[in-house]
Amino acid sequence: MSGPIAAVLETALYVDDLDAAEAFYNGVLGLEIISRSGNRHIFLRCGNGVLLIFNPDETGKPAPDGALPVPTHGTRGPGHACFRLAGDDLAAMAERLSAHGIAIEADFRWPSEARSIYIRDPAGNSIEFAEGKLWGL
């Protein structure tokens, strides 16, 4: 049974160095910056969704008086995010990563024949690029 949830609206990753994250996600991957708030966060457009990059040292602090009442949050250690690309775009992404000196940890096909490429971002998060057919999309 499926519910009324239509899609993932946003995905969050946590990093210690927002400048390195911005250089990677905007400069290398080409995601558009929606906003940046000092050393707290960077929000990036990712297709129909948003990638949130947070500094847990800042998001673990209570919201100041008068700010939106967003609860504290954050985690430490590597997380994971997977970006959907078409098959032809996966090959171009592999070339782009190589041109930036980014090592590919794994590049393989799943039993569904979907291809996945895994790398690490500057904070050590596991980043995957995969074809939508991995999940039947």
Q: Kindly list the distances between the CA atom of residue 107 and the CA atoms of 73, 123, 129, in Å, as whole numbers in the listed order.
A: 33, 20, 9
C-alpha–C-alpha distance, residues 69 and 90, integer Å: 39
Residue from 76, 21, 90 nearest 52 by CA: 21
pLDDT at 1 over 60: no
Q: What are the structural domains of the chain? A: 8-59 (3.10.180.10), 78-137 (3.10.180.10)
Extract the tokens encoding 57. 């040292």
Enter the pTM of the model.
0.91
* pLDDT given at position 137: 87
pLDDT at 35 over 90: yes
C-alpha–C-alpha distance, residues 3 and 131, integer Å: 24
* pLDDT given at position 64: 85
Q: What is the rounded average pLDDT for all residues in the chain? A: 92
Chain position carrying tokens 């024949």: 113
